[in-house]
Amino acid sequence: MTASPAEKRPRKPKARKLYSIYERVHTPPGLKMENIAVLDGGRPLMSPRWERRFPSLTETPRLVIDRSLGRPPVDWELFHDFWLVSDRMKNVLESVDRDGVAFLECETRSTGRKAAPVYWLCDVVRILEAVDEEKSRFEVLDEGKQSRRYNGMALSSFVYREEAIGSAHIFRLRFMKSRIICDQIMKDACRAADVRGIGFGDASK
């Protein structure tokens, strides 16, 4: 029996839906890092260039929850080059993709009557060269061996290489490390846990 053309050519798996993660709440949170002046020589907390990890800190970060400074903190808060995340957010990230993230516990106290919630410095440490440059549309302003600068004002669209992503559920892009990408599984886990402060946009744009 002769196989039909459809049987001879297996259907290519549909590319998974990917999202760009962003901060949803932009009003100042009621928190401060009281020992920020000594943590890294008084400098903003930044990951070393060309990689993703926490800098070597002189002491444990001490976070103060102070409602006089702003709104109640949510589960996902931008802090310098990293994120401050709640226990709930940490549990979601670890349960879905433990190898893609790193955490550093903060000493947390509150100026109010309620006990301070636990918070962690968080970083997405997995970096993938996942953009299919032949199928994507973007403008490169300058390019080097270790870096590439894109024109953020130009209209861009991105296609991703499934083989490069593999089993990852959250990652950064090699030449756009500030951009954090996740898949539907991670997004669904965040929704199920009802975490606050994290948003999801179309990663193709």
pLDDT digits (tens, 9 = 90+) for 110-122: 998 889 999 999 9
SS3 69: helix
On whether residue 142 sits in a domain, the answer given is no
pLDDT digits (tens, 9 = 90+) for 171-188: 999 888 889 999 999 999
On whether residue 179 sits in a domain, the answer given is yes
| 186 vs 93: CA distance, rounded Å | 8
Which residues 6+ apart lie within 8 Å of 80 measured at CB? 44, 45, 46
On whether residue 10 sits in a domain, the answer given is no
Q: What is the pLDDT of residue 15?
A: 74
Radius of gyration of the chain (CA): 20
| 203 vs 205: CA distance, rounded Å | 5
SS3 161: coil
On whether residue 105 sits in a domain, the answer given is yes
Instruction: Say if CB 38 and CB 58 are below 8 A apart.
Output: yes
Q: What is the pLDDT of residue 37?
A: 93
Q: What is the pLDDT of residue 205?
A: 86
Domain range holding 84?
Answer: 18-129+159-202
| 88 vs 76: CA distance, rounded Å | 10
Q: Which residue ranges in the chain fall short of pLDDT 70?
A: 1-13, 141-155
Q: What is the pLDDT of residue 54?
A: 96
Of residues 8, 25, 1, the one with CA closest to residue 199: 25
On whether residue 185 sits in a domain, the answer given is yes
On whether residue 122 sits in a domain, the answer given is yes
On whether residue 197 sits in a domain, the answer given is yes
Q: What is the pLDDT of residue 177?
A: 83
Q: How many domains does the chain have?
A: 1
For residues 162-197, one letter each, b for 16 or more C-beta atoms within 10 angstroms of the residue's C-beta and e for the rest, the string is: eeebeebbbbbbbbbbeebbbbeebbebbeeeebbb
On whether residue 63 sits in a domain, the answer given is yes
Instruction: Say if CB 172 and CB 128 are below 8 A apart.
Output: yes
Amino acid at 179: R
